[in-house]
Amino acid sequence: MSTTVSDERLRAVSPWRKLLSRPELGAVAGAVLVFIFFAVVAGDSGFLNFRGVVSWLEVSAQLGILAVAAALLMIGGEFDLSMGSMIGAAGMVIAIPVAEYGWPVWAAILLAFAVALLIGYLNGTIVNRTRLPSFIVTLASLFILRGLTIGATRLITGRTQVSGLKDAAEADPLARLFIGDIFGVPVSVYWWVALAVIATWILLKTRPGNWIFGVGGDPEAARNTGVPVNRVRIALFMGTAVAATIFAALQVLDFGSADVTRGVQKEFEAIIAAVIGGCLLTGGYGSAVGAVFGALVFGMVQQGIFFTGVNTDWFQVFLGAMLLIAVVFNNFIRRRATEAK
């Protein structure tokens, strides 16, 4: 008869403790509660029919594209407050060459992504070289980018809006990736899901994912173990700039116009969605899945208020309350998870 000898150094972890350790727990629970609430209150007003579901999915998707990138950056211990200005700038980089100089749309799109990568690289490099908080560096970028976008657009066009892109976009093969819908679902939703899957794969299945957690948790310790901390930061800032450009392309090419003020406060909404999704403001903890559900909560609340008939001016009250509740809940869950280990 053989006997099984267990290693006393190994301790079984209960499903409850595993659940507590998941950063997206609060966002998933919140999304379920918000859905149930509006399904009951506004289900008969269109919240649950196909068009209603598509409306809050589209709002969630556009913010979710930003939130997923913001979540990765926050896990890496940094913030990007220039994302909103990057949206306005990227929109104009696409619109002006097409409307004013007759560029093909695909060339303008590629130029916008090249500019985004450059700006993300500069943000990351400045943070690395100066050792200043990324909050300060990207706050400066927010104003510089917004000012350059407004000034350059007025100088070139004499106005702050550029239109007339719709026909050119519909005829361009690359632009069609950013416009229309597939099976009645806006293309932005597919971008959102694709980016979330890629980000989750990076975080959970790749070495750079481990690097991101390490850089956000303790950059000096990560550097001492061979993690290329500076390159990871730069890559994450380039990621948020690219996400902002995807957002800009979706809006500009679908609407056929660009506005210098587009993207205002989107950086804060993306950070709020990431925090609701379980990202800690101190870095080193969070998930892309949590950011997806954080954006979903945002979209359902925004459109749910509309379907209930309540004045949408109250939306920001709910947004601020959700942020506060999410931070308190995430801290509680994080503390319980730590104690459970």
Rounded Cα–Cα distance for residues 219 and 235 (Å) = 15
- What is d(CA 300, CA 296) in angstroms, rounded to the nearest whole number? 6
CATH class of 23-32+47-332: mainly alpha
For the chain, which residues make up each domain, given as ranges? 23-32+47-332
Q: What is the 3-state secondary structure (H, E, C) of 310-338?
A: CCHHHHHHHHHHHHHHHHHHHHHHHHHHH
Predicted local distance difference test score (pLDDT) of residue 237: 97
Look at residue 153 in the predicted model and tell me its pLDDT: 95
Task: Give the pLDDT of residue 12.
Answer: 56
pLDDT of residue 331: 67
pTM: 0.90
| Residue 286 exposed, middle or buried by CB count within 10 Å (0-12, 13-18, 19+) | buried
Output phi, psi for 279, to 5 deg: -70, 135
Cα–Cα distance between 184 and 172 in angstroms, integer?
21
Beta bridge partners of 258: 162
pLDDT tens per residue, range 185-194: 999 999 999 9
Spell out, as residue ranges, where the chain has pLDDT lower than 70. Answer: 1-21, 330-331, 333-341
Residues 268 and 117: their CA atoms lie apart, in Å, by 21
Contact 162, 101 (CB under 8 A): no
State the pLDDT at residue 42. Answer: 85
- Position 1 scores a pLDDT of 47
Q: What is the pLDDT of residues 98-138, one digit of tens each?
A: 999 999 999 999 999 999 999 999 999 999 999 999 999 99
- What are 236-277's pLDDT values in tens digits? 999 999 999 999 999 999 999 999 999 998 999 999 899 888
Q: What is the pLDDT of residue 16?
A: 56
pLDDT at 244: 97
Quote the pLDDT of residue 46: 85
| Per-residue pLDDT, 311 | 74
pLDDT at 189: 96
Centre a 10 Å sphere on the Cβ of residue 182 and count the other Cβ atoms it contains. 9
259: β partners: 161
Rounded to 10°, the helix 25-42/266-276 angle is 110
Report how far residue 188's alpha carbon sits from residue 246's, in angstroms, rounded to the nearest whole number. Answer: 9
